[in-house]
Structure 1
Amino acid sequence: MIVRHTTQALKRNAPALASLWLGAIMITSVQAQALTPVEVAGNAEQANAPEGGKLDKRVALSAPRLISFGPEDEMFIGSQAGRLYRLQPPYDRVDAEIPLSGYPHSAVVHEGYLYVATTDQLYRTRYTPGQDVTETDFEGVADLPGGSGHASRSLSVGPDGRLYVALGLQGNCSAQRVASDTAFEDRRGGVMALDPSHETPEWTPYVSGLRNPIGMAWSPQGALYLNNNGPDHWGYEAPSELLVRAEAESFHGMPWYQWNEGEWQRDECIGSAPPAGRDTLTPPVATFAARSAPIGLTFLPDDNPWQVDMVTAIHGSWATQASGGRASRRPPKIVGIRLTDGGHQGEVIDLVSGFQAENGERWARPAGVAYHDGALYFTADDGDTGLYRLTP
């Protein structure tokens, strides 16, 4: 699916296509199909969804974050509420609430274990579908660099069977990097990998130079894609938030460089020498508006009804324009990405909007996203919190 949507796709979307040539990469924003107002079943609100789509709230949850699926279609949802949720199909009730301290942001089931990533630790317990689990069942597998600042730890299983965790920098200009020559507590701002089969599992640096890469997803071809939340010391309009394609040992610039106006620009907030020159940096696959905060990220199968390769949850900004007030905040939404050029370029397409009124009031902020059996699921961790489902 990644190689489709080239010339024919551009012609098909030409009336709604706004494109900007940025060096060797074209980053575009297009409208998919007409978004129409729909009632949100189980909710008093409305949203804008693809024509004919149905949006419903499945279940209320407290501060839910990332979504994953385990054996027998079990759904796991991390949270900022000190618990891990488990749901069984059709995902309209909570099957189990597992109390866990330390911000259990995400979880995966892998080779007979349930793994949970908190801010400063990776935990696991032996697991079979439907099993009762308590906090005391978990054992620590490996420490994670903790500390203040970005506290989420996104967990994923790679095509090589290793576990991958994404960690954000402590601040906008923290001189931290996921690298073997960096002190362990400063290995933030990127992705680390771990082979859980080793007797003493240890984290290995994998990707660096990302301020806060919350969303992570593997393509069918085995390539890692990451959302990156950019800094907020350049003002409200810059720099853009990024979707990047990450190769092993790749460096993506931050905090020494920011992608702005189609090029990598030096960020003078940090005086230390960058670990690599800007000529070594790869342009992003796609960009999102500054301060929009992309979070969850997932790939979809080729036959998905919305004709996109990926979907991400845009959380929306907490910041406002200087004179705009609350109404100027970046609105939350769900967007799709169509990949071209072998997955190195992307077109961003609105899929669900209407979470924010003209006066800036919000009824929900999407966080995690997942696709299963023809439906798109997403969590909202603010407003009317819980699990939602979009069906065609």
Structure 2
Amino acid sequence: MSKRQQEIRGCASIRQLMGTALIGCLCASSPAWSEASSNDTLDGETSAHAPTLALQAASSVPEDAPSLRLPPGAGMTRLASLQAPRMLHLTAHDEVLIGSRAGKLYRGQLADDGSLKRMEVLVELKGYPHSAVVRDARLYVATTDALLVADYHPGISLAPSDFQRVIAIPGGGGHNSRTLSLGPDNGLYLALGIQGNCSDQYLAGTSPRYPQQQRRGGVMRLEESGEPPEWRAWASGLRNPVGLVWQALATGETRLLATNNGPDHWGYEHPRELVVAAREGSFHGMPWYQWIDGRWQADDCITSDSPRERDEIAPPLAEIPARSAPMGIAVVPPGHPLAADMDVVVAVHGSWGTAPSGKAWGDPASRREPRLLGLKLATPDTEAHLVPVLTGLQDAASGERWIRPLDVAFGKDGSLYLTSDTGASGLYRITFSQ
């Protein structure tokens, strides 16, 4: 079966799972994907900082909204209501740190059973604190134009004045998310996109063609051996990478996976969104080339010459239908109930593009729906395929979206945590039976 056929089959499966009732907390009890009644709400919140809310009351969701669907034996609970949360990070001390568009860095404490004991605003920071990681008793926060750091230990209180600026990050308008990832080498890696569809920006570029502010579109590694520290290009040619995760392979190698959002100017069906292996020195073609029907094709929207040859562009590991807006990505742990069917889970945010033109002013119901997708990544011997994990987040008639997944991460107990930054925004937990 071709990649395109597999994509079509995956999308069709997702559409077939749409039901007639919205749920807040559900559990599967049949061999098919689960569906709960319209009376289910989100009354199970336990955090003292997140008062009990019914989803219908919180988001004006009608009773006939589509039902959420999960794999057999899975259950989903909303743990906390948050303002525009973005990327999440689980620490070794069972804390969950969540950036936000609201300028707040949230901190939650998980119980031994994976439930949420409490949630609070750890600190408010200017400049859009999109993501955070803890390394060696220090808290690093990536804003749009700077990497910040503060001394940190679990439970500590922080103020903005506790943070120091480590290094500037190329900023400016356009794609302004900055995703941090802690590598297996204990290094800090950062993803950032180019400003638009066809911006002549190249992460591995040099002056004068590419001054510092124009070195965008890929993944950087913080080089800390000198003083001051410097950013070093790791992987380039990505239009808007948001999700980063490290995957251990059977060979003993560890590779960095990244989701990448394709451009908007090709319409509704092309180019597809990609998951790539962001390796040291790898080049992924954009904005000079787009991955169309299994090969790289030149994009005539940019007139400058590509800094790398076409045959140097790394092929993707998986494709997701165009205009899906993949965000966070998590590797499925070995032995997990999902592991037989997928290697990773991707938070699909759903973009604004409507069919058939891909423009914003069409029928909202034709937009790609938000969802969680499991991906079996391509290998030298097999092609990638898609498996739905969570669906039913968009009304099939109106296109209204109840939840828009932004990031995902697996907890120690196998739970899958996810953030939604619009609609019923907050932190959610999906549990799985063995």
TM-score normalized with structure 1 length: 0.90
Counterparts of 1:250 and 1:183, CA distance in 2: 21
Contact 1:58 1:93 in 2 (8 A): no
1:326 is matched with 364
Which residue among 176, 182, 191 is the counterpart of 2:219? 191
* 1:257–1:330 distance in 2 versus 1, CA, 3 Å: same
TM-score normalized with structure 2 length: 0.81
Q: List runs of 5+ in structure 2 lacking aligned partners.
A: 15-30, 44-54, 62-66
Contact 2:97 2:105 in 1 (8 A): yes
1:371 is matched with 410
Counterparts of 1:185 and 1:369, CA distance in 2: 30
2:351 is matched with 317
Contact 1:27 1:285 in 2 (8 A): no
* Greater RCO, 1 or 2 (C-alpha within 8 Å, sep 6+): 1
Counterparts of 1:211 and 1:178, CA distance in 2: 11
Quote how far apart the aligned CAs of 1:41 are. Answer: 3.8
* 1:250–1:28 distance in 2 versus 1, CA, 3 Å: farther
Percent of matched pairs sharing the same residue: 46
Write out per-residue CA displacement over residues 238-291 of structure 1, whole angstroms, 9 at most, x where no aligned residue.
110000112101110000000011111100000111112222222211111111
2:396 is matched with 358
Which residue among 307, 315, 337 is the counterpart of 2:375? 337
Counterparts of 1:55 and 1:192, CA distance in 2: 35
2:52 is matched with none
Secondary structure in 2 aligned to 1:62? coil
Counterparts of 2:244 and 2:415, CA distance in 1: 20
Q: Which amino acid aligns with 1:368?
A: D
1:177 is matched with 202
Task: Identify, as 1 or 2, the structure richer in strand.
Answer: 1
2:187 is matched with 162
Write out per-residue CA displacement over residues 185-220 of structure 1, whole angstroms, 9 at most, x where no aligned residue.
111111110034644211111110000000111112
Q: Which range moves more in the overlay, 315-324 or 66-75?
A: 315-324
Counterparts of 1:236 and 1:213, CA distance in 2: 19
Q: Root-mean-square deviation (CA), in Å? A: 2.1
Contact 2:318 2:377 in 1 (8 A): no
Counterparts of 1:78 and 1:344, CA distance in 2: 36
Counterparts of 1:232 and 1:356, CA distance in 2: 21
Secondary structure in 2 aligned to 1:327? helix
Matched, 1:295 2:327: yes
Q: Which amino acid aligns with 2:352?
A: W
Q: List runs of 5+ in structure 1 lacking aligned partners.
A: 1-18
Secondary structure in 2 aligned to 1:172? coil
1:109 is matched with 134
1:37 is matched with 35
Aligned length: 371
* 1:84–1:174 distance in 2 versus 1, CA, 3 Å: same
Contact 2:372 2:389 in 1 (8 A): yes
Q: Which amino acid aligns with 2:86?
A: R
Q: Which amino acid aligns with 1:384?
A: A
1:129 is matched with 154
Quote how far apart the aligned CAs of 1:342 are. Answer: 7.0
Secondary structure in 2 aligned to 1:185? helix
Counterparts of 1:91 and 1:29, CA distance in 2: 37
Counterparts of 1:327 and 1:191, CA distance in 2: 34
